[in-house]
Amino acid sequence: MSFIFTPTATMLFRFSALTFNSHMIHLDPEFSRNVDGHPGTWRFYSPNTFYYLSHLSHPERLVHGPLTSLLLLELASLLTPPGSKGPLAVKRYTYQARHPVLVGKALTLCGTYVRQKDNSIPRRMRLWAQNEQQIVCMTGDAEFIVAD
């Protein structure tokens, strides 16, 4: 299951206010481009890999990681797993940011249930957000409360 969502500048402003996060990378495109962009070399760490990029700067404001995470969590809470009578309550949720998300760029939020070995109602869901270039920007894992 997936749906496409485009974060707006207004949404970033409101989320910044709600979370008391006034960092300019979320609010000012010039700051993101010219001040916070890291000219020269920059390394992005993923658990198993180092990505080495050069002359990286952010062309637009960055979407808050927690905002992207909340969008994935909302997707998980809305989907009804096969065999259940309705959406399940989330018991545990983890996420990891993997790539910057930019304002005004479409983001595809995806989720798939992890099948149980005994074919019972799935208790876990894998989640991810990918940008227009199909780069995975965030991954998540939700575990649900299932009444036996």
CA distance 48 to 132: 24
Q: What is the 3-state secondary structure (H, E, C) of 55-123?
A: EECCCCCECCHHHHHHHHHHHHHHCCCCCCCCCCCEEEEEEEECCCCECCCCEEEEEEEECCCCCCCCC
What is the chain's alpha carbon radius of gyration, rounded to the nearest angstrom? Answer: 17
Both tokens assigned to 13: 């402003």
Which residue in this structure is represented by tokens 């990918």? 130
CA distance 12 to 147: 37
More confident residue, 133 or 52: 133
Tell me the per-residue pLDDT of 16-74, one tens digit each, with 9 for 90 and over.
889 888 877 777 777 777 776 643 334 444 455 444 443 456 677 888 889 999 999 99
CATH number at residue 25: 3.10.129.10
Query: In total, how many domains does the chain have?
Result: 1
Q: Which residues of 117-133 are buried (b: 16+ CB within 10 A; e: fewer)?
A: eeeebbbbbebbbbbee
List the Cα angle 15/20/28 in 5-degree steps: 65
CA distance 29 to 8: 12
Model's pTM, two decimal places?
Answer: 0.77
What average pLDDT does the segment 94-115 reach? Answer: 91
Confidence band, pLDDT 50/70/90 cuts, at residue 147: low
Question: Containing domain of residue 11, as a range?
Answer: 2-144
**pLDDT at 142 (0 to 100):** 92
